[in-house]
Structure formats: C-alpha cells, structure tokens
Amino acid sequence: MGTFSFSFSTLVCSSHQSQKGTHKHGHELEEEQEELAEHQPLEQEDLNFEKWKRKPLPKRTLYQTIDSVKTYLWNAETKEFMGRTGKSWSLILLFYSALYLFLAAMFGGCMCCLMWSISPYHPTFNDRVMPPGMTMAPHLDGHDIAFNASDRKSWKKYARSMDEYLKPYNDGVQERKNIHCSQEKYFMQDHLEETLERKACQFKRSWLGECSGLQDPHYGYSLGKPCVFLRMNRILGYLPGQGKAINVTCGVKKGNPEALGEVEFFPKSLFDLKYYPYYGKLRHVNYSAPVVAVRFAGVQYDAHIYVQCKLNGKGIINDSPTDRYLGAISFTLDIGA
Amino acid sequence: MVEGEETNFPLNARDCLYLDWSHNNGHLCRPLQDDHEITIEELEMRYDTSIKKGLTSSFASQVLERDGPNALRPPKGTPEYVKFARQLAGGLQCLMWVAASICFIAFGIELARGNLASFDNLYLAITLISVVVVTGCFGYYQEFKSTNIIASFKNLVPQQALVIRDGQKNQINAIDLVVGDLVEIKGGDRVPADIRVIFAQGCKVDNSSLTGESEPQSKTPECTHENPLETRNIAFFSTTCLEGVANGIVINTGDRTIIGRIASLASGVGNEKTPIAIEIEHFVDIIASLAIAFGFTFFVVAMFIGYEFLEAMIFFMAIVVAYVPEGLLATVTVCLSLTAKRLARKNCVVKNLEAVETLGSTSVICSDKTGTLTQNRMTVAHLWFDNHVHAADTTEDQSGQSFDQSSETWRALARIAGLCNRAVFRPDQEGLPRLVVGDASETALLKFTELTIGNIMVYRDRFNKVVEVPFNSTNKFQLSVHELEDPMDLRYLLVMKGAPERILERCSTILIKGQELPLDEHLKESFLTAQMDLGGLGERVLGFCYVYLNEKEFPRGYKFDSDEMNFTTSDLCFAGLISMIDPPRATVPDAVMKCRTAGIRVVMVTGDHPITARAIAANVGIISEGSETVEDIAIRKRIPVEQVNKSDARACVINGGQLKDMSSEDLDEALRSHPEMVFARTSPQQKLIIVESCQRLGSIVAVTGDGVNDSPALKKADIGIAMGIAGSDAAKNAADMILLDDNFASIVTGVEQGRLIFDNLKKSIAYTLTKNIPELTPYLIYITVSVPLPLGCITILFIELATDIVISLAYEKAESDIMNLKPRNPRRDRLVNEALAAYSYFQIGAIQSFAGFTDYFTAMAQEGWYPLMCVGLRAHWENVHLQDMQDSYGQEWTFGQRLYQQYTCYTVFFVSIEICQISDVLIRKTRRLSVFQQGNKVLVSAIVFQLLLGNLLCYCPGMPNIFNFMPIRVQWWFVPVPYGILIFVYDEIRKLGVRRNPGSNTFVIVDNHPPPLPLVFLVAGCDLKHKEKVSAFFHESLFCFSRYFTSTPH
C-alpha cells in the first residue's frame, strides 16, 4: 500500500542544526515531517454554519443620521458649511461668477453679432411662414357660427367682433392714411431708400357692400344671411399668385353641397395684387390687408354645415394635412330662424 | 433570499450537525449521530440491511422514494421570472420607473384637464419603460447564457456505484443509492455517499474537496474517534478513493451528507452588493437629490411667477424626468455585456454582469494554490545523482530543458523509478493526458519515466515482478524484487524507494557515474545537503536504491515472503534522489507580477503544508525575492522570534494551527503589517475568516477556489472565481465568475477589463451627465422667461438614446498605465464624485446650454422672431386658436407654422448639443493626456456616425411629423462651433494643469484617483498650499488661451 505520506524537509533549518550529526539530524527531520504530515483535524468550528451567514451591518439610528446631517450642514468645530469653509465657498462663488460672467459676455456678444447681422426691415428667411395662412372674422373662441336670426342676443357677439375687425378699414381712416391705388399689378416700392416708409393702398370698408356694416349694422345676422370676413396672412415681400390675383372660393366641406345656397363675395372674390408686397411693420406702418367678405345669402336653416373657404392660386397650399389654416379656413354654420 | 434559504434548514444547523447526522426521518434531529460508534449488528438493525446481502431491491426503492435521490440538490433555483424581475429593479432602473410613472401622472393630469397639447409625456413614459425592459432582457439573456455554460459543465456521465442488493453486485447510478445500501469502492472511485466503512483494505481517501487538505486519509473499519468527522470509519460523499478497496453501508445521501450541508449552506451566505451596484446607487442618489432640488426650486419659482398649482406640479415632474439620464442604463448594460463577451473569449465566464467591474476594483486576491497557481499534478522537478542536482522539465507542455541523460547512474535510477512503482495507466485510453491509477508521487514517477525511457508498461513486463512490499508507516519504504530481462542472467533485482534517510541507512555503496563507490562521510554530507536543498524547495524527496541479489543465495524459484522479508534489505546501492512538486503554471509568475504592479495583493490561502506553500509562493512571486518572514529574520540575526520587529518582515506564513489561536484583530494586524501573506493548512472556515478580515480592512476581495470547502469563501468574497475544469459544482454555483481554463493569468485579464470598464463608465457618465444640463435649461428658461419651448422631449430622447450610446460604445482602449495604478479605493474613488458632477453640470454643461440658446435665438431671429420678443411669448405662441400671430416684422403666423418653427428650434438645439458633445467626447477620451496624445479610430468613426445620424434626422423627409425634426439651414450647424472650441480649450487647459501639477490634484476631475478634496477645478486656488503652483498655472493658461484664440477664428 504505497503512499508515502511524508518526506518534507523543512526550511526552518538553522546553521547550528546542520552542524549536528547526520543521523540525529535525519531523525529530527523525520519527526518534523511527521508533524507536518500529521492529519489536520476538522474542527467543530469549521462546521459552525452560523458563522458562514452574513452578519447584518449595524444600522445607524435615526438620531445618528440626523446628527451627521447636522454636522454636515454646519460643523461648528471646523466652521464648515456642507464640508467647506467660508473661504472655500466664497472662492467657489468667485470662480463661478467669473465663469458665468465670461459665458454671459460671450453669449451677449453672440446676440449682438446676431442682431447686427439681421436687418430690421426684412427677415433673413421666411420659409417657415410661407405659404400664407388664412384667418376669418368673426373669430371668438373658435370658428363656429351658431345663432338664431330672431334672437338678438345669440348673434350680438358676432356683430361686435366684426365691428372691431373693420374699424381700421373705416373710409375716413383709409383716406387719411393711405393712397388710392388703381393699378392691377403689384405695388412695388423696392427702389425707395431702405429706411423710408412705404405707401399703402386704401382698402375701404364701404367697398364691402352689404357686409360693410354701414347699411346693415348687423352684417346680415339678423336676417339669417351672415357675413364673414376672410383675410390672407401677411408675409413680408411675398407676391401672392405670381402675377395673377389669388381668388377665394367657399363650399361645403362635408355634407349636402346644396345646403350652403348662394354665396356672395365683396368687393370681389379676389385679393388684389396692388396690396402686395408687404414691407413689414417698420416701413409699412399703415398697411391694410385686403379683406374678402363672404355673404351666405341662401343658407339652409337648422342645419350644421361645415363650410370651408380656400385660397386658390399659384404657390398657395390649401390642403395641408397638418395645418388646417394654411390657405384655407373651415368653420361651421348653424343658423336658426 | 437569504431568509428563504435558511428556512430549508428548520433547525439551527449548528445544533443539528452532530445530532441530526443520519437524518433518515425528515426534519427531526436524533440525539447524537453515532453511526460510526455502534456495532455492525446495530447498524444492520438501524437500516434494515445486511452487511452480506445488502438491502432488498424493493426496500431500497421504498427508501429512495422516502429520501429522494442521492444527489446534491442544486441551490434552490431562483424562478426565472424573479431573475428577470431582478434585472428590472436595479438602482438606475428604479429611477427610470419613477420617472415613467411621473410621466404617466403628468399625462393623466393633462388629459383630465382637457388641454392635451401633445402625447409627449405618454411617449416618454413608454420609451422609459421600454429602455428598462430592453436592457433588462439584455442582462437576463447574459445571465441565462452563462448559466447555460455552467450547466454544460455538469458531468454528463452519471456517476456509477457498485452496490450489493439482494446479495447481488450491481452497477447502478449513484443517484439511486439509499441509506442502508451496501457499496463497494475501490481506488479511483468517487465515494458515492457518506459511508460507514465495514471492511477496508489499504483504502485511502482524498478529503481535499471537503477540507482542502491534500494528504490522503486512510479508512479502516474501526471507530477511532467519537467525532464522526474525525473517525476513520466514515468516508465522505464526493471525496475520492485513491487506492485500496472498501465496503461500507451508506448512512447519508444527497443533501444530508456533510458535503451536501456545506454546499447548501454556502448558498445561504448572503451576496454582498457589487461595487458597481453601490456606485450606481450612489450616482442615483446624486441624480435624484439634484433632480428634486431643481424641480422643487422651479416649482416654487413657477408658483411665484403665477402659474397654477397643477401647472407648476407638471413643471416639477417634467424637470425631475428631464434629469433622468435615459441613455445611461443602456450604456452601462451594453458596456458590461460587451466586456463580458470579450472576457468569455478569454475563458472567463461571468455569471453576473456587474461582476465584470468588481474584478477591476479588486485589491486583494485570495488564491487557492492547488490547481490555480499550480498545475495540480505532481511532477518530477529535480533529481540528484552523480553527486549533482539535475533539474527536470516541469512545464505543462514539456517545452523546457531536460537534463543530461547520458549517465549510467541515471539509467539505474530510472529503472528503479519505473519498476518500484505500483501506478498504472488506465487501459484503453486515447489522447492526452492519460489517466493514471495510483498515488500522486507514483503517478509523477510513472509519467516521468514514461517520458524519459519510453513505454514503461512494456518495460515492466520485461522485468517480471516476483514479490513486492508495499509502503507502510513503520518501514517508510517500498520495495519489489524482479527477474531480469536477460533470460541468461538468473539474478534477482531488488529495487527500493522511500524516505531518503531510511533508504540511506540501508545503503553501503553509492552509484556515481555508473561506478559503485563506498558511501563515505563526504558523500553522505553531500546527500544530506541535496536532500535539504530539495526539501527546502517544498519538494517531496524520495530516495532510490537497488541491489542484485546473490544468485546462489536466492536462486530461481526462491520463495520470497513479503511479510517475513526473507531477503537482503541492507547494504544496498544508493542510486539517487528524485524530488517532486506540483509545479506552478508557466503563466502564473508573470500574472502575479502584473497583479503586483497593479497594486493588487495576492494572498495564498491553501490547505497544503506551509513549506510547500511557501516554496510555491516564492516560486510564483507571491513572496518576492529577498522577502523574509519573522522566523527568517530571527534565524539570520540569531535572536528569539519575539524580539523581531514584525514590520521588518515583508512576508508571513501562517498556518491553520496558528490562525486558530489568533483573534480577528491579530489577523487584521498581520494582514496589515505583512504585504506578502501565505496561509497554509487552512480549513474552509478559516478561508472565510481570512476573506472577512480582508474585507474589514476595506479591500475588495477576489477569491479563487475549486473545492466544496471553498464555496463559502467564494460566496463571501466580493467576487468568487471558480475553476471550470477542476472546480466542483458547489464552487461554481457559489462563484460569480468561472475560469474555463483554470488559469490564474485569466484573472489578470479580468482585472484589466474591469478597470477599463470602470474608467470607461466614468468617462461615459461624465459625458452623459454633461448634456443633462443643456437638456434641462431650455425647460427652465421656458418656465421662467416664457420663451417658446426650445427643446422637446422626443428630441431629448434622441440625444440620449441614439447619439449617446453610439458614442459611449466607442470607448477607449486602456490608457497605458491602467495596470500600473493602485486599485481604486471604494470609499474614496467613486464612479461619480462631486468634482465630476460639478465640472460636468455647472461648467461644461453650462457652456453647452449657452451654445444651445445662441443657436436657438439665431434660428428664431432669422425667421422673424427677435430674441427680446421671444421673452414672454409662450402664452400666445401656444394658443391653438391664434392663427395670425405677428412676429417682429408684422408677418402673420398660423399655429401650424409656429409649431414647425418650434420644431426647427428643437432641431437647432439638438444640433448644438451634438456639436458640443463631440467636443465633450474628445475631452473625455483621456483623463489627463492631451487629446492629441491619444488617437482612436473607433471614436472618429463614432463621431462621423453621430453626425450622419444627426443629418438623417434633420433631412430625411417625413421627420417633422414623426420625430419633430426639421431640415435646418446649414449655417445653424456652425453657430455652436465657437462654444465647442471653448469647451475643448477649457478642458485642455485643465489637463495641462493636471500634467504640470501631477501632485496637486487641483485639476483632476475624471480620474481613478481623485483627491480626497474634490470639486476643485472650480475652486482653483482655494487650495492655498498650492498657491504658487496655481498662480503659475494661471499664467500659463492665459498664455495658452491667447494662443488658442489667436489661432482660431472666433
């Protein structure tokens, strides 16, 4: 049975040991080896499984936690607030003020450069505002017109809103401020000096006929034949229609097309070229955007009619899926007797 | 989980250990385990068995039904859904959940109030949840995969046991064994259960998997000790029978065996949090408190300005959500799993993703010796013959130098080694390494002779063995008598090996260069020196001698009697010494050296003898050249051990016996005062104590091990590393990482990767944090100054999730010094510290915000909205009914047009952040080297990719309505460039400061080793100790600044 459970010489052999006799030395060695090779008994402790389990960490009490937070906030010994002395904090503050001052100056410089680089008379780009949107009056909370012709209260608000809308177009104001234009083409004033104010063409309220509110101060609401005003959004330098005036059409968006009946336009269903281009509010101070008044003379009563008025012309988008007010406007008519 | 495991053991295990030993009646403890003490008859009674016929098959199957199979139940598998849920509940994940629920609440409030402007909050919530879930799946998949790899180790061949039932010998699967079975074991078998030995013949058992002790224990039928663990008549489950045969009755099976108890209780040792988990929690704390502080401030501000309470509440929640770094979770997970993958290619399988980083933080490695540092096979290391020591080749692949084999003496020595040897190769083996039956030193000799003189089995057949005297402890030698191969030569050859001094005693002559010379004092002296030298190397030394028996005295047919020894056993001829050792693996010394340079202590913890342990430790460099122990110094100075100043001794060897008498303070002190530690003869419990002591000293401890006895220590360690080949299942279950090739050098690779990941995570986080500020400020400005919203949440998500991760992936290779630095101090070197956060947030982040706003106002102004007009514009701007809102030029905008303009702003803000982040990633690349000093192609391509992605988002048709990106004007890409340059210059100056003042740490922000005094680039100069340095630095930086500015068009 030949396992040699032994034979380890040992390191711990000092010089005096080796001076001893060979035999004795050999014997000693052997004893030492015996000891080394001796079976290491398993201790009861080795199998004390309790010890192998994780000891829970001592939990800090709430009081200690609060105390350490307090010390962190204000350490009276070192006079430190949140781990720093007053000097340290003020240096931090100083550094940051310097840094942010520099950044603010740089930002300010950039803004100056920016403002210096852009003209006050015309925007650098106008691609986002093109093509024009369309707005209407009356415009209260929404674009729904619902009233009873016989019920004054139900349409009074519309009439008042229209009054407000037309104020700048009063004939007197227009005659005083603007010139009379008769040409049928764009009113170009590019050759003038840049800073000079541009002239604007008159657009008189009286041209709106039955929708002018002059003959009928209720704009046809009392008769159940309401008027609405349409305007095209102003865009600086924009030449709508590329030489051919934009026209306006109104129709039923969904439902019976007959329900709308006859539709009249004042002064006509066109936005005349002479009102364009717009030169911006700085130079075109008295600019009056042309209005197209639409009168629904034969509208069916007690029906909820979806009406859509559109601009038609070159360069106009009136069917954008994302922006319902681009070149078109939708509203409902709900008229009772 | 810990509690759950505990309930598996209804009674305190300590109480039960000696009580509930056999445990065949469920959970009740029987008073005192005495299976080893009772007589065989009582034993038969107790288990209804017979020592002749064994159990009856029918009864055995009943018992099997009652007790269950004889196998270690794998640690109670966590249900898969719990594992998955755990992946969803980390620190960052919780943050994201909170953010997502806040989004839902905000969405709910808006919905309830009826002014639902957009579904952004809903989208955001969904995105947050999907990020958590997707990364969770990632982590789960990783865990699943490594579990599979581990599962594939499990021995596919079921263990067999030779059992006697109904008086018949049967081979059955060991898992079908039951209590009371009569089994037979023989050399080479694994003991199939805990067995009371009733008959044994030369049976020796290797208990190392239980105790870590490599010395074989003999097993006999006598009860030698009242302690069942000590008595010789019990053999333990899963230990290996080395030689001899034994019969026994099974007394415990499966989890009730002692090994089973250790294995299952080890899994009850709680898992500590991984360092990276702690770091991430710390980071989440910072983020959460900052978010709440910011949110609350602006809540108050909003209320003060006059917003409604609910609106202010939504602002509050939005700010909190905006603070959540959505991309970080994905970045961390991807970084970790990429590294895990890389490690897997280098034969390290990581069970838990976070463990990848743990190795990088490791400051102490407690390494087992056998099998990890060494090859785990006895190998002939040295020979002494012809009065010279010859070194044998101990490399794994026999690539080393061999010694001169021309001497006649060598031939004689080899013949003795080959003949006087009972080890045999297992028959019918293909390929290498061939398995050998026999004890370790005989195996070593067999392999050695096989390599040097050829086929030893055939050789032995030529020398017919006549008689043999096996080793016993009184003789301490082994001999055999052989016929000679030459049929004409009728002499017998007696060969003998054994303890050198015992062999020498029997010799009168010695073979020198083939000549038999008388053994004089001089030669004896030189023999002794050789023996001492070899012994001092920790090697096991054997002496060899032979004699040709006198033909007349011992003619052919002489009756040799092995008991009487009726033949010459003295006046032999001494041939030489052969010494053996389990040699270190070739790669280990280099790996230990690398660990040392990396500041990692390698502590050897072994069950082996102190001398061997020390020799191997010195060999692989754990104890460095010239290091002395206290004892060495005492001997050198010739003073008593007590007088030696302990701090003079670098090295220290402590054996289990000494350790037993040390208090934990003593152990801590020893670990503190001696940098080079070797623990020998340690028990499993002591391994655990050592690990705990290291942890008490603040180290992050890695433990390597393979045996069941290591499993508690593996579990206790911050990272347990099990051996893939030699490791037991229990060890693999307890470990976090498995070395498939059992190679210590792989650990070094792991450390490097772990450190790299920490560095890179730090860089990534610094990078990720930075843009949190430019993401947040638009919202703050939106609230306070009421400008149209400059940055939308979908855009933020794109910054976080698309561009960010791409950049983070392109992380750096190790900076060249990564393995020359000390391991990070877990208490001090945080993943995110104040300095890092402050620098990222309040400096770089602030610059980026300014860049974003510059670009924002530029885009607004050029489209017709002057900066000052933007202020206070919000209410009108967001009015859905206002279709003719006038800009600074009197142009009228519809709501839709304004919305697209707003998207344009989002896009320019996005572009600004992206441009600044390019600059940011360049500065984050290196901790202190200038960016020009380190190139990175991956990074460049990542930047290009990021730009391409930005362009795609901007200019791909359809983007405006899907992701709110507008095609922006080319010049707006360049607006933020000056700020990008500013960031770059600013940081280069900081790094210049770091390099110029390596000691001061004033400028160190992203470093493995930030100073205890953090947050200071911002307070450059506050550290008055460095006053001169700082002022010098400012001069230099001013100079640099001016140079940068004159060379860059601004």
Please give the Cα distance from B536 to B546 (Å, whole number): 26
What is the DSSP code (8-state) at residue B147? H
Look up residue B760 and give its two tokens.
């890179």
Residue pair A328/A155 in contact by the 8 Å Cβ criterion: no
Q: Is A124 an 8 Å CB contact of chain B?
A: yes
Q: Is B794 an 8 Å CB contact of chain A?
A: no
Helices first, then strands: H and E counts in chain B: 40, 28
Bond into A131 cis (ω within 30) = yes
- What element of type H or E holds A190? none
Query: What are the pLDDT digits (tens) for B973-988?
Result: 998 999 999 998 988 8
Looking at residue B1012, its pLDDT comes to 30
Query: What are the pLDDT digits (tens) for B2-11?
Result: 333 333 333 3
Q: Is B946 an 8 Å CB contact of chain A?
A: no
Would you say the C-alpha torsion B1034, B1040, B1043, B1048 has a positive or negative sign?
A: negative
Buried b (16+ CB within 10 A) or exposed e, A225-246: bbbbbbbbbbbbbbebbeeebb
Lowest-confidence segment of B177-191, B254-268, B288-302, B1024-1038 by average pLDDT = B1024-1038
Looking at residue A25, its pLDDT comes to 45
Looking at residue A6, its pLDDT comes to 36
Residue pair B603/B678 in contact by the 8 Å Cβ criterion: yes
Question: Would you call B958 helix, strand, or coil by DSSP?
Answer: coil
Inter-chain CB proximity A234 and B892 less than 8 Å: yes
Collect all residues of chain B within an 8 Å Cβ-Cβ radius of residue A233.
883-884, 891-894
Average pLDDT, chain B: 78
Please give the Cα distance from B703 to B735 (Å, whole number): 9
Look up residue B174 and give its two tokens.
């060991």
Looking at residue B1041, its pLDDT comes to 40
Question: Would you call B614 helix, strand, or coil by DSSP?
Answer: helix
Please give the Cα distance from A8 to A30 (Å, whole number): 8
Please give the Cα distance from B625 to B534 (Å, whole number): 18
Q: What is the ipTM of this complex?
A: 0.81
Please give the Cα distance from A102 to A100 (Å, whole number): 5
Lowest-confidence segment of A180-189, B41-50, B413-422, B1010-1019 by average pLDDT = B1010-1019
Inter-chain CB proximity B681 and A40 less than 8 Å: yes
Lowest-confidence segment of A86-90, B66-70, B209-213, B981-985 by average pLDDT = B209-213
Q: Is B310 an 8 Å CB contact of chain A?
A: no
Neighbouring C-beta atoms of residue A12, cutoff 10 Å: 15
Residue pair B349/B720 in contact by the 8 Å Cβ criterion: no
Please give the Cα distance from B585 to B893 (Å, whole number): 79
Among B205, B193, B183, B190, CA closest to B157: B190
B432 versus A180: which is more confidently predicted? A180
Q: Calculate the alpha carbon distances from B604 to A191, B191, B261, B676, B738 in Å.
A: 94, 29, 26, 9, 19
Residues of B (620-639) whose Cβ lies below 8 Å from A: 631, 635
First to last CA, chain B: 61
- pLDDT above 50 for B721: yes
Looking at residue A108, its pLDDT comes to 93
Looking at residue B268, its pLDDT comes to 59
Look up residue A59 and give its two tokens.
């939990």
Mean pLDDT confidence for B175-182:
86
Looking at residue B539, its pLDDT comes to 84
Residue pair B121/B150 in contact by the 8 Å Cβ criterion: no
Among B351, B406, B401, B409, CA closest to B740: B351
Q: Is A328 an 8 Å CB contact of chain B?
A: no
Look up residue B600 and give its two tokens.
């990692």
Whole-structure pTM value:
0.72
Closest partner residue to A235 among B202, B261, B891, by Cβ? B891
Q: Calculate the alpha carbon distances from B969 to A235, B738, B947 in Å.
A: 20, 55, 15
Among A191, A175, A305, A303, CA closest to A252: A305
Considering only alpha carbons, which residue of chain A is nearest residue B14? Answer: A48
Please give the Cα distance from B363 to B699 (Å, whole number): 6
**Can you spell out the DSSP letters for B721-780?**
EEETTT--HHHHHH-SEEETT--HHHHHHHHHHHHHHHHHHHHHHHHHHHTHHHHHHHHH
Q: Is A225 an 8 Å CB contact of chain B?
A: no
Collect all residues of chain B within an 8 Å Cβ-Cβ radius of residue A198.
none
Among B367, B378, B363, B324, CA closest to B132: B324
- pLDDT above 90 for A302: no
Inter-chain CB proximity A52 and B712 less than 8 Å: yes
Q: Which residues pair with B622 in a beta bridge?
A: none
Please give the Cα distance from B410 to B420 (Å, whole number): 15
Q: Which residues pair with B250 in a beta bridge?
A: B195
Residue pair B482/B501 in contact by the 8 Å Cβ criterion: no
* Main-chain phi, psi angles of B628, to 5 degrees: -120, 150
CA B323, B329, B334: angle at the middle one, nearest 5? 150
Closest partner residue to A39 among B217, B422, B688, by Cβ? B217
Q: Which residues pair with B247 in a beta bridge?
A: B184, B199
- Min Cα distance B842 → chain A (Å) is 8
Look up residue A251 and give its two tokens.
């129709």
CA A169, A173, A177: angle at the middle one, nearest 5? 110
